[in-house]
Amino acid sequence: MSEKGTRRMNDRRGFRRMQKQKKAVSPVVATLILILIAVAAAAALYLWLVAWQGGVTGGIGSPNAQSTVTIGGSTSVYPFDSLAVTQFQQNNSDVVISNNQGGSGAGMLSVCAKNVDIGTASSLETVTQLEQPVSAGGYGCQASPEPVITTVAYDAVDVIVPVLNTHGLVSMSADTLLTIYIANDGGIVAFTGSAPHGYTFPQTQGVTYGGTVTTGIVWDQIPACLVGQTCGGVVQAAAGAPAGANTGTVMAACASGNDICGTTTPCGFTVCAGPFAGTAGTITGAATDAVQPWARSDSSGTTQSFTSRLLGIGDSAGTPAGLGFSGCSPDGQLASCGIEPITAQQGNGNPLVIAGVAAHPDAIGYASDGLARASGSGVTFVGFASVGQTAAVVPTTGSGGTIANGILAAGAQTGQYQGWRPFEFVTIGTPTGEVQRFMQFVLDPANNINFATESAEVSIYSI
């Protein structure tokens, strides 16, 4: 074979080797290409997930809300519904809830005027009162759609004194507390309410009683505890009987600085409120200091429950004295009963009343049970005998507490706390949309119990 032919043959053999090599490499290249595609897809998916997760995380706490729900009213209900609002919004980032407090009266006026979606109240509301004109003591709701009232929890109204309780006060009855409030209204308005039944009104000493009492009461003119209760190591005796209905013999006060009345001291009680025996010099309040009663300056369910449930006062135009929820007409407030507390001793909302009582050794007042229990409130409870009770009761919460038992038995029995009242949400018509979603969240049994427990209230499912 010639040299030229030999080259041709070698070229053909080289070409065939190249073709075989190409055929051997193709599957490897294909595999590498597939791997590269898979890696690129995984990377793209990872980047998308990171971006999506970042968007969700960034939206928590500052949601791009699609709707807003507005709530307003009772300062007693506020701690309860604030817990519900916070937890609801954590699970519903598309809804923003505006929650405000200003008193039950303001809440009812606002919901009837359709300024809020939910009005909150800490007293027993009725459709009739909601629909009454404002000029008649109602809230001016329209009859159609009819207001809807939903009970979401229960609370109570307590008689409170500073934590230090410098005057040794252990317990008291409705008539003694009522006289304190009448005597310290500065004589601005004559008392027009009815006296609590079951007691001889009033049972304090050193004061001339009548339709008006303007002389004020000092601490050693009232008993330190209820008749028959051991107080300062001595069993409390009954006071000297008044000379007649709503009038009484002026008797000397207990000895200054000594709350245990001696046999020669012409005072009406065995144990008087004042500096507690054996603690003189360690307290700041004196036996002759005037009692400083605190009250609400705003229209509130707390005051309405205080006058009707604890004091048990009413009038001919309102619910009779006893265990009703209305008391003196038209709104159950102290002024409607002819009692006008001193302006300097009033607070707008429960928190300011509690702060006022906590700040003064001679103060006494009333407030929401849940708020009074709060750590650092600066106040403590006084055992109280309301209308129809024969012994003082300090409120306790929970399914077996005196508040829950009082609700179950309508507060008719001794040992159950009669100062309980409902927490209510009021809407105009049946709730729909986001308002309905929120209320269903609040009424869920597990949620409701948790909210009540955290705010020291009583769940509707605990009774």
Question: In the predicted model, is pLDDT for residue 23 greater than 60?
Answer: no
Question: In the predicted model, is pLDDT for residue 220 greater than 70?
Answer: yes
What's the domain range around 16?
1-59
Report the candidate in 200, 107, 261 with the shortest Cα–Cα distance to residue 252: 261
Question: In the predicted model, is pLDDT for residue 441 greater than 90?
Answer: yes
Give the global pTM: 0.77
Q: Please work out, in degrees rounded to the nearest 5, the angle formed at the alpha carbon of residue 82 by the alpha carbons of 78 and 86.
A: 175
Q: Write the DSSP symbol of residue 361.
A: T
Question: In the predicted model, is pLDDT for residue 411 greater than 70?
Answer: no
* Whole-number Cα distances in Å, 1 to 9, 16, 105: 10, 21, 121
| Residue 159 to residue 74: CA distance in whole angstroms | 19
What's the structural domain count of the chain?
A: 2
Could you tell me the pLDDT band of residue 223, with boundaries at 50, 70 and 90?
Answer: confident
CATH at 363: 3.40.190.290
In this structure, the answer to whether residues 24 and 154 fall within a common structural domain is no
> Do residues 438 and 383 lie in contact, with contact meaning Cβ atoms separated by under 8 Å?
no
In this structure, the answer to whether residues 160 and 138 fall within a common structural domain is yes
In this structure, the answer to whether residues 51 and 188 fall within a common structural domain is no
Contact partners, residue 342, CB within 8 Å, separation at least 6:
184, 185, 186
In this structure, the answer to whether residues 55 and 153 fall within a common structural domain is no
Residue where the block lists tokens 């005027």: 113
Residue range 253-280, pLDDT digits in tens: 454 444 455 444 445 667 777 754 434 3
Least confident of 22-36, 169-183, 315-329: 22-36
Whether residue 404 lies inside any domain: the answer is yes
Length of the chain in terms of residues written: 463
In this structure, the answer to whether residues 224 and 79 fall within a common structural domain is yes
In this structure, the answer to whether residues 37 and 155 fall within a common structural domain is no
Residue range 92-135, pLDDT digits in tens: 989 999 999 989 999 999 999 999 999 999 988 999 989 999 98
The residue type of 12 is: R
Whether residue 64 lies inside any domain: the answer is no
Cβ neighbour number for residue 187 with a 10 Å cutoff: 14
In this structure, the answer to whether residues 51 and 161 fall within a common structural domain is no
